Amino acid sequence: MRTVVCSSLLGGLTCWLLACTDHQLPGQPAINKSRVQRAVDSIRLGLEKDLQNSVPSLNVFIQTPTDKIFASSVPAGSVPVLETDNFRFASITKHFTATALLNMYEDGWLDYKARITDLIPGTQIPYVPNTPEWDFPYKNQITLEQLLQHRAGVFDVDNDPVPGFNGLSYTDFTQNANPTHQFTIEEMIHQLGIHQLSYWAPGVNYHYSNTGYAILGKIIERVYSVKSGGTKTYGDYLQDYVVGSTAAVPVAIHFPARADDTVLPAPRVEGTVRHPTSTISYGDYNMSAQVGEGNGYGSMSALNTYLRTLMKGQNVLTPQTVKLMQMDDLGNTFTKNLGYEKNGARIGNLAVIAYDPLTDVSVVAYLPLWDYTQGPDGDISFKKCIRALYDAAYAARAALGYPGRP
């Protein structure tokens, strides 16, 4: 099993030497590869200086109309990451959920403008269950589109403190108490009803919500079960239509949903969370609380293939639906000089995928580090990690002559 080694910054000149991957993709011009590598190296070293500590790796996969380049920057003596290494890409899962919903929309299986209490087309079955567990604030007013856009006001029991759980989110408290707990969407949604939790009425404002996307994952499960005539899951639909061998563009990406499906397969990269007095590595992990919103894993190469083909209208969605996805912020957002992008953060992993139709450049950046050593609750150093992730993506573009950070 390949792992990324975290080494301490001990001082001296050797601490500034780089261990750079010499892996070159087929047809990759050496001079362009070198430019991108130097750019990523510079960002990693700058982050190490800002944190006053080591950075296990910083990695960028970039594809242009003429080049496909991967660069991994790691400390001296560490093994570089490969573009085929598995890692947990967290909330980038939401992009796949949006793609699945829009593919169902194209097939006439659902109406993404409908309320979640409306009936699945051609049936007498509502999109979400009509049960006590699913009785939560504003349920009858929320649309699938609002959930996709994080404008439904659905309280996030995965990120925000829930009453009665010692200042923690429901999922954090439960998983800390029992790491093998099998989460269900019903138990998480039930917390909304018990405590009458919401941010505001649907459509009033924007608030990021993992729980909102977990609801969409349940809707995918219910619609696919109805349309297939059997019991299906969120993961079944993703494998059958979006990423698996029967998909338009198969990619090696997976979405574990069982509490006993915890293994991140080799070759892999583990996320690192650094606190002032401890450092924790996360590889194998129970992702059953994040179905539909953050349970995916795969490689940087696979993510690039998925995003690039999708955004170019060469994958499961038609060009017209891709434009709808882009312009209506359905699963992604637009960022200047990156394009349509989605990021993710979970258990020591930070990643972003982006496609810029103006330049036909796609980029995937990955940093397996959360640093909480600076500022109140570690917020200063954590934000430095996020900025470095984006800096690496911008720097790779600039190294190839494309617009970088605005």
CATH code of the domain in which 127 resides: 3.40.710.10
Looking at the domain assignment, is residue 276 inside a domain?
no
Separation of CA 390 from chain center: 14
Q: 132 pLDDT exceeds 70?
A: yes
pLDDT, residue 192, reads 98
pTM attached to this predicted model: 0.93
Q: 6 pLDDT exceeds 80?
A: no
pLDDT, residue 3, reads 32
Count of other CB atoms within 10 angstroms of residue 332: 25
**37 plus 174 within the same structural domain:** no
**97 plus 17 within the same structural domain:** no
pLDDT, residue 295, reads 98
CATH code of the domain in which 330 resides: 3.30.450
Mean pLDDT of 267-293: 98
Tokens representing 245 are 């061998």
Name residue 71's beta-bridge partners: 60
Final residue before a domain boundary, out of 255, 280, 307: 255
Q: How confident is the model at residue 13 (pLDDT cuts 50, 70, 90)?
A: very low
**98 plus 20 within the same structural domain:** no
pLDDT, residue 1, reads 31
Looking at the domain assignment, is residue 273 inside a domain?
no
pLDDT, residue 28, reads 57
The C-alpha atoms of residue 289 and residue 287 are separated, in whole angstroms, by 5
Looking at the domain assignment, is residue 293 inside a domain?
no
pLDDT, residue 81, reads 98
**126 plus 32 within the same structural domain:** no
**139 plus 47 within the same structural domain:** no
Which domain covers residue 157, as residue numbers?
A: 93-255
pLDDT, residue 59, reads 99
Q: 14 pLDDT exceeds 50?
A: no
Q: 9 pLDDT exceeds 70?
A: no
pLDDT, residue 30, reads 85
Total structural domains within the chain: 2
Is-contact 306 253, C-beta < 8 A? yes
Looking at the domain assignment, is residue 5 inside a domain?
no
pLDDT digit string, tens, across residues 240-261: 999 999 999 999 999 999 999 9
The C-alpha atoms of residue 292 and residue 305 are separated, in whole angstroms, by 20
Looking at the domain assignment, is residue 186 inside a domain?
yes
**202 plus 219 within the same structural domain:** yes
**154 plus 182 within the same structural domain:** yes
Name residue 70's beta-bridge partners: 61
Half-sphere exposure of 356 (CA within 13 A, CB side): 21
Looking at the domain assignment, is residue 283 inside a domain?
no
**82 plus 98 within the same structural domain:** no
Q: Which residue has the higher pLDDT, 24 or 182?
A: 182
The C-alpha atoms of residue 308 and residue 353 are separated, in whole angstroms, by 10
**243 plus 111 within the same structural domain:** yes
**133 plus 113 within the same structural domain:** yes
| DSSP per residue, 64-80 | -SS-EEEEEEEETTSPP
pLDDT, residue 27, reads 54
pLDDT digit string, tens, across residues 391-405: 999 999 999 999 999
Final residue before a domain boundary, out of 255, 282, 306: 255
Q: What is the mean pLDDT of the chain?
A: 93
**152 plus 243 within the same structural domain:** yes
Final residue before a domain boundary, out of 204, 226, 255: 255
Is-contact 146 152, C-beta < 8 A? yes
The C-alpha atoms of residue 312 and residue 159 are separated, in whole angstroms, by 33
The C-alpha atoms of residue 338 and residue 335 are separated, in whole angstroms, by 6
Looking at the domain assignment, is residue 351 inside a domain?
yes
pLDDT, residue 25, reads 56
pLDDT digit string, tens, across residues 26-82: 555 789 999 999 999 999 999 999 999 999 999 999 999 999 999 999 999 999 999
Looking at the domain assignment, is residue 323 inside a domain?
yes
Backbone angles phi, psi at 20, to 5 degrees: -105, 140
Is-contact 394 404, C-beta < 8 A? yes
**172 plus 154 within the same structural domain:** yes
